[in-house]
Structure 1
Amino acid sequence: MQLSVLSYYLNLYILPIIVVFGVVGNLLSVYIFTRPALHRSCSIYFLAGSINGLIILLFGTFIQWLTQIFPVLYATSISLEYCRFRTFMLYVLYNLAPYFTACITIDRFCSSSVHPKLRRLSSRARIAYIVIPIIIFITALAYIHIVIRFNIRNFRCQAEAGFYQNFFPFFTTGYYFIAIFIVLIFGLGTSYNIRIQTQRIQPMISTVTNSTTREKRRARGDSQLLLMLFIHVVCYAFLALPYHLSLIAAAIQPTLPMDKIFLFVYQISYITLNLSQAINFYVFTLTANLYRKELQNLINRLKLLFLAP
């Protein structure tokens, strides 16, 4: 079987599975991250990421799959306005994902800090409601050039030929790596903070012993959120990085998009990029007891609702 045909069938059968499981998972995540037991600024960023992933799967992945089956629906090949609008929205949405993760990492860094002022920042959920619109605005502003410099060429919505066509892959990959850099820096900072706290284990034990049940519960919740963050970062980096690397490779070597092997690898990286927006619920369910508990509470409510006499 030719690679182009194999790529077609992989997209045809795998993308709808990703959409179905991703939409269900993100909807459940939206519910769980709005529960009182998880009411923290960190959870608000997770919530924003779940909503963002839901929009990506419906507006991006699902429509892409439909146009593959019904090419007549591929409006970006005939409408310049739709071409620019959809491309702009998708690049904003996809690039919000790593920045929401960066916000979570910064929040956990503050939460684990030995400095009271930084810890207070992570305890104020309203800060997240201010930061999220700012991140959305900055990302939209960063990609506003798409609505001017994208055109329809060869019945495809593409970057304007010339300098911009070579510049755009470097720009979008650079914007992605800024978020990854922030995640790494503050992730290492969080690790350092935890190591410092471990060295003060005896005072901490004394504090926990005399603390209230509510404080103990919150401390356990914070540690589980930190574990969820770590797994989320590893999965996202592993699944999204190949797509951005393929963009850079195509920009450096313009003949690559004509190579069948490269196109096959690019399609696989597109699938894994979308998979990164669909698996968080399932990863969180496997790693965090607090998350599973809230999910079990939802299942119990649904049983009472539908099985009640």
Structure 2
Amino acid sequence: MSSEMDYIQSLASAQTYLFQFGGAFLICIGSIGCILNLIIFSKKNLRKNPCSVYFIAYNIVNLFQICVALSQTMLLYGYSISTTSWSNSFCRFTYFSGYVVDVLSSFYLILASIDRMLCTSRNARIRRHSNHLVAYTCIIVGTICCMLFHTPALILVNIIEIIPNYYVCYSDSDGYLAFTNYYLLTKVILIPTLMIIFEICTIKNIQSSHRARVIPMSITAGNALNHGRSKDRQLIRILLINITVYIIFNIMTPVVSLYQQIVQYQSISLAQSQMNSFLTNMKTAVFLVVLSCAVALDVTLNQHWNLWKKTNNKNYSDVEEHIRRNIWESNLKKVQAHNYEADLGIHTFWLGMNQFADLTEIEFSKMMNGDNAKILNQKNNAQYEFTRNPTVKLPDTVDWRDKGYVNPVTDQGQCTSDWALAATGSLEGQHFNATGKLVVLSIQNLIDCSGKQGNMGCIGGEPIQAYEYIKENNGIDTEDAYPYEGDSNRCRFKAEGVGATVTGSTAIKSKDEEALQEAVANIGPIAVAIDSSHTSFQLYKQGVYHEIFCSQIHLDRGLLAVGYGTDSGKDYWLVRNSMGVKWGEQGYIRMTRNKRNECGIATSASYPLVPKM
């Protein structure tokens, strides 16, 4: 008997110390987790998604649960202070708020599940129901209904003395107790079932969209779908984690209830009773904290994260660091999964954690491409169209770098000057062909001075319009005469600094890869435009790039095609990018060739005409 009492005393002491010292720690960790989640989901790039609205509401409720329910548990079991017996009003409010936030937490998860099911549907009309108006309406109406549903707790719950000098907050109404028991039983069964059903529907929608690509109702909708895909996948993963945690911990409730029903007529020892109480209380505390940290960071990656920041010279504020770290970890998982499949031969290229690994797909596209898609998609207004000669025998491999036509890779920074770099790159090659001198031409000259022709500086532009400006201006300055600043400014062209002139421009027949191949082989480096709005392009490292979701018409980046070739039976275009030598293959990318004009590389290709020397 003495050993059993010692065991009971040990459990009671352990519970007391855990709640005294660990309770405050759990509240802090849980609250910080919820607050950080609220900051993340409130960021501009995420809050545009209706699912983020549900997650914001969900984390607000969780924060309330942690601060109220966990604090009361800590005071009760750590310091023997029962806050619910202070007054009838506080007792009723605690009882009422406990039921409301408990059901709202699961209700918001269900709404998020429904939203993911809607947004992944192949039916465009169904996808339209995933919007902010529906989200706010469901949250407001649902919250009001939940509060009305549990208003009896504000009337029928009182402080009751169950034994002398021992008071509890409870209801002495048999009808209300029966109602709450049936309600809890229904909730435990119905809510996880609904979550599982909606998530299965979401997964089926995703699998269906992989087999047959979703057809948007308009080009604009299609572009939004491309940009939002990565963000939607991230939200679906977060939702799955939260639902899994919710189901695992809540499945304990019916298990415990079933166990209590089985042993209700059996005599159990005090030690067993104490152990049951201890485990139940700890389950509640851990559950609330785990839910709040569903988007928490992987501490095992701290060393890798710090090394990546140092290598790429990245510095953040405390709040931004958490956000960037989450994005970085998400991208790391994509890179690891993709590269594993590439090693197995499923893909023809590999990804890497380059300097853009802390950006979402949307952020990267906006920072590097701006509104360039709107300009590059305009009609090609070149003076001439390239005429093919089908009888000409083309070489199997071309690389104009080996012949001195191409300058080193440039880093455009955060100015959308890729169009200017593509234009000057092609002109530098043609000028070299005519004079034998490779000059570095000023892209800043084009950024600042070609607005009249339709270009928009660091917002975006088009090579054909750049050639038009150079022709009308009687030349373009060299880089030395007009250095790059990475921002739009007033025009400061100097006639004495001219490095090259243009007499006109020639466009390659749109979407004709054979014509582009002949031009690259016989003319020199050609300015091209592609669809680069994919994480696979953002994080490209090496290999022959192949993106099945690439568009032929949604072009957002100007590049320079400097050659072509074949690698292990895979035809490719050799293309110079303008994001520095840390990106891709020393600043270059090999893009799939002869695959239905993939990524639109032959849709808007052109080169300048220069005077004969």
Q: TM-score, normalised by structure 2?
A: 0.42
The residue number in structure 1 matching 2:49 is 40
Counterpart-to-counterpart distance in 2, 1:300 and 1:137: 33
2: distance between equivalents of 1:166 and 1:261?
Answer: 27
User: Any idea what the Cα deviations from partners look like across 1:60-105, whole Å, max 9, x if unmatched?
Assistant: 2123323444445x34224122111111101211221111110110
CA deviations 1:14-38 (Å, max 9, x no partner) are 3322211111111111111111111
Name the structure 1 match of 2:293: 279
**Paired amino acid for 1:231:** I
Greater shift, 141-150 or 85-94, is seen at 141-150
CA separation of 1:131 and 1:251: change in aligned 2, threshold 3 A: farther
Contact map agreement 2:72 2:83 (CA 8 A) in 1: no
Shift of 1:248: 5.8
Q: Say whether 1:241 aligns with 2:235.
A: no
CA contact (8 A) 1:26 1:281 kept: no
Which residue of 241, 258, 277 maps to 1:263? 277
Which is bigger in relative contact order (C-alpha 8 A, separation at least 6)? 1
The aligned counterpart of 1:230 is: 240
Say if 1:19 and 1:58, in contact at 8 Å, map to a contact too: yes
Query: For residue 38 of structure 2, what is the aligned residue in structure 1?
Result: 30
**Compared with structure 1, are the counterparts of its residues 302 and 115 closer, same or farther at alpha carbon in structure 2 (3 Å cutoff)?**
closer
Q: Which amino acid aligns with 2:234?
A: Q
| Alignment match, 2:21 | 13
Residue matched to 2:92: 84
Encode CA deviations 1:111-130: one digit per residue, 9 max, x unaligned. 111111110111x2121111
Question: 1:176 Cα shift?
Answer: 4.1
Alignment of 1:118-267 (within 5 A): 118-122=126-130, 124-153=131-160, 154=162, 155-160=167-172, 162=174, 164-201=176-213, 212=223, 215-243=225-253, 245-247=255-257, 249-250=259-260, 259-267=273-281
Matched AA of 1:81: S
How big is the shift at 1:9? 3.0
Moved more, 13-22 or 163-172: 163-172
Q: 1:221 to 1:78 in 2, by over 3 A?
A: closer
Shift in alpha-carbon separation, 1:302–1:221, aligned structure 2, 3 A: closer
1:51 aligns with 60
1:110 alignment counterpart: 118
- For residues 22 and 83 of structure 1, the distance between their equivalents in structure 2, rounded to whole angstroms, comes to 24
In 1, distance between residues paired with 2:185 and 2:237?
27
Distance 2:290 2:321 in 1: 28
Asked which structure has the greater CA Rg, the reply is: 2
Contact preservation (8 Å) 1:12, 1:65: yes
| Residue 478 of structure 2: aligned partner | none
Structure 1: gaps of 5 or more residues: 287-295, 304-309
1:111–1:119 Cα contact (<8 Å) kept: yes
- Relative to structure 1, the CA distance from residue 106 to residue 5 in structure 2 (aligned partners, 3 Å threshold; closer, same or farther) is same
Distance in 2 separating the partners of 1:100 and 1:7: 32
Deviation at 1:242, TM superposition (A): 1.6
Letter in 2 for 1:246: V
Which residue is 1:291 aligned to?
A: none
Cα distance in 1 for residues equivalent to 2:75 and 2:251:
25
Please tell me the residue identity of whatever aligns with 1:80: N
What CA RMSD, in Å, does the superposition of the two structures yield over aligned residues? Answer: 3.3
> Is the contact between residue 173 and residue 248 of structure 1 (CA under 8 Å) also seen in structure 2?
no
Q: Identical aligned pairs, as a percentage?
A: 20
Per-residue deviation, 1:283: 6.5
Give the alignment's TM-score, normalised by structure 1. 0.80
Deviation of 1:251 after TM superposition, in Å, equals 6.6
3-state SS of paired residue (1:282): coil
CA distance in 1, matches of 2:321, 2:212: 45
Letter aligned with residue 89 of structure 1: S
Where do 5+ consecutive residues of structure 2 fail to align? Answer: 1-6, 301-314, 323-613
Partner-residue secondary structure (3-state), 2:292: coil
Figure out how many residues of one structure are paired with residues of the other and give that number. 287
- Other structure's SS at 2:237 match: helix
Kept after mapping to 1: 8 A contact 2:238/2:294? no
Contact between 1:84 and 1:147, CA under 8 Å: does it hold in 2? yes
Between the aligned partners of 2:203 and 2:258, the Cα distance in structure 1 is 31
3-state SS in 2 of match to 1:121: coil
Match of 1:4 among 12, 18, 24: 12
Q: Secondary structure at the match of 2:170?
A: strand
Q: Offset of 1:250 from its aligned partner?
A: 4.6
Amino acid of the structure 1 residue aligned with 2:248: F
User: When you count strand as a share of all residues, which structure comes out higher?
Assistant: 2
Letter aligned with residue 143 of structure 1: H
- Shift of residue 211 of structure 1? 5.7
For 1:177 and 1:282, locate their aligned partners in 2 and report how far apart those are by CA, in whole Å: 28
* SS at structure 1 position matched to 2:238: helix
Q: Deviations over 1:143-172 (max 9, x none)?
A: 222223323233111232645435423312
Structure with the higher helix share, 1 or 2: 1
Letter in 1 for 2:190: I
The answer for the alignment partner of 1:293 in structure 2 is none
CA distance 1:248–1:78, change in 2 (3 Å): farther
Change beyond 3 A, Cα 1:270–1:66: same
Distance 1:141 1:298, change over 3 A: farther
Q: Which of 50, 61, 70 is 2:70 aligned to?
A: 61
